[in-house]
Structures are given as structure tokens and as C-alpha cells.
Structure 1
Amino acid sequence: MVRLKGLKFRLRAGCLKEYKNCIEDLLINETVQMMKHFRHHHQTTCFEHALNVSYYSYLICKNMGLDYVAAARGGLLHDLFLYDWRVTELERGKHAFRHPDIALENAERIFTLNEIEQDIIKKHMWPLTIIPPMYYESLIVCIVDKYCATLEIVNSSKLTPVIDKSVLF
């Protein structure tokens, strides 16, 4: 059973396999794998953070009868910005405001994204992005992103990955 602060999900046999099927083509991509080289929140890499966001969003959207495939895929790609935001200075604007557009540009260069996946990546920093998410899936990823980031920052020494990454690889 996975607990997400008050929500309980019973993991059916094959749930992890189904999740992996949603994102398998993303996981094997070299550019997505590059996210492992960038620290994001304390000791959590960008890849680990995105995987956590992706999996929790998948579970919630599946439980709610929403597009869980788009949530899983958009969640994994939402921070595909590929630089160390602590030292990189952007030409226009600050990282918190600009990285959703950068991540979307990077993702669209590699993958064909549907409207929900695009909206998830572009709006995951709402309310900083000003324009709110258009889809429930986007809002869920946005909230789960903040939940995971908070855990990664506050409990960085105690946080264990949501899923055993060895199962995915």
C-alpha cells in the first residue's frame, strides 16, 4: 500500500509494470537519463524527483479515472531542463519562472507530446506561471511536484524513493 498524506492506494499486481509501460520509452532515452547528473533538491537528483512526481501522479490519476498515462509521462518530463539551476544564469528571467518552457522545448525536440502532457510540463510551476493548468492531470502533477519537493527538502536525509528504481531498469 502506498500512502500519500491521507490517500491510500492498493497496488494491484502489475500496477508497477503498467506504470513502467507508460514511461518505458522515456526511461531509455539518453536525454532523460542526463537528468541523473543534476542535483535538484538537496541530495535528490532531477531524475529521482521527476520519477517520484511521475509515479505519485500516475497513482492519483489512475485512482480518479483520469489520463494516468499523460500524468506519468508529463510528470517524468516536467523538469527536463538539463542544467544546474544553482550556478546557471539564464538570459531571460529566473529559473523558477523559465524552466517549464525550457523543459517543454527539450521534451518536444525528442518526443511527440499530447496537449495534456504539454500543459503538465508548461504549468507545473503554477501559480508562478500565472496561467493556471487547463486539465485536472496538470493540476495534480503541479500539486504532487510541490509535495515531493517539500519532502525532498525537509526530509532529505530520510526520504526514500517512491519506487525501487531497480524494478524499472
Structure 2
Amino acid sequence: MHYTQDKEFMEYIGQLIENPRMKRMDQIVHHHHSTRLKHSINVAYTSYKIAKKFGWDAKSTARGGVMHDMFYYDWRTTKFNKGHAWIHPRIALRNARKITTVNKLEEDIILKHMWGATIAPPRYKESYIVTTVDKYWAVREAITPYTEAFKHRRPHLFHRRILKR
């Protein structure tokens, strides 16, 4: 099912993704083959479905997931005193608070989704879902050209790209 046809999910994040600040993320390339908004929706919807399956807080999981990367700079070129993995969750939380009220679980999801690259572990089980799903989608989006080559039965493109690197 496409996420837009999931009425409950859309009740949770519909107003968020229609916000002009959130829509801005659809103009930003993220993981080379996706936009930041598309990535965030993918993470939110997959995480929401997992949380719902386990009977956990699917609403906060969806909301935290869709706002986890709410920043507007190019992380490949912008340098900070502290690394991007530490900085961008804090920026995302600040930006999320500009468009909605964020509960403690959503805050933890946003701040801790880079666990593994940062020290502080998530506090809630839903935060672990988003953290893991975020990594899954990052890899999936990054390998899009390779999976597309296989889908279209053109593995020679895959080998050619690998050999050029």
C-alpha cells in the first residue's frame, strides 16, 4: 500500500508534510538518489508500520520519523565544529518545534536517530525502530542505480559502475 492511501498514517503526518517548511525538504537531494522529504516519509512510514505491528506508539513513531532529518543544509559540504551526525538532529528538533508540538518520544526519535554514529542511545523502543529503519533507507536509496540495473535485467551496468570507481 502506498503511504497516501493509509488513512491513519496520513492523519498522523498529513499536516506536517503539507507545511511549507517540510515541503522545502523535497528540493534537497538526500543520499544521492532521493529527496530529504521522500527519505523522511519512507523512514516514517516503514517505522510506523513496524510500531503498529508490535502495538507500540505508531503515531509518535510516524511523526518523529518524518521530522528526523528536518534540516536544510547540504551535509556533504557544510562543516561544523562538531560532526553532522551530532549537529543535524538538534537542528531537526529545533525546526520541528517551529511547526508542531513535539512530545518526549518524538524528541528522542529525532535526537537519537543517529545512534551508532553518536554516543547517547535511544531511550524508547520506537526510537530504535526509527534509528534502524533510517539506516535501511539510507542504504537502499544510495544503491538505487544498482538495484534499478538488476530490475531491468541489465547487470552489465552494475559491473560497469563498480569497475569505474
Return the TM-score normalized by structure 2.
0.83
Query: Percent of pairs identical after alignment?
Result: 46
Equivalent residue in structure 2 for 1:142, among 122, 131, 154: 131
Number of positions where the alignment pairs a residue of Structure 1 with one of Structure 2: 148
Which runs of 5 or more structure 1 residues have no equivalent in the other structure? 3-10, 160-169
Letter of the structure 2 residue corresponding to residue 41 of structure 1:
H
Q: Which amino acid aligns with 1:95?
A: H
| Consecutive aligned runs of 4 or more in structure 1 exceeding 3 Å deviation | 156-159
**2:42 paired residue number:** 52
Q: Higher strand share goes to which structure?
A: 1
Distance 1:127 1:109 in 2: 27
Corresponding residue number in structure 2 for 1:130: 119
Residue correspondence of structure 1 range 102-117 to structure 2 within 5 A: 102-117=91-106
SS across alignment from 2:7: helix
Instruction: Provide the rounded CA distance (Å) in 1 between the counterparts of 2:29 and 2:49.
Output: 25
What 5-or-longer segments of structure 2 have no aligned partner?
149-165
Which protein is richer in helix relative to its size?
Answer: 2
Deviation at 1:129, TM superposition (A): 2.4
Q: How far did residue 27 of structure 1 move?
A: 1.2
After superposition, the CA RMSD in angstroms is: 2.0
Q: 1:116 to 1:15 in 2, by over 3 A?
A: farther
- By how many angstroms is 1:156 displaced? 4.2
Considering only CA atoms, is the larger Rg found in Structure 1 or Structure 2? 2
**Alpha-carbon separation, structure 2, partners of 1:43 and 1:124:** 21
Residue 96 of structure 1: CA displacement?
2.1
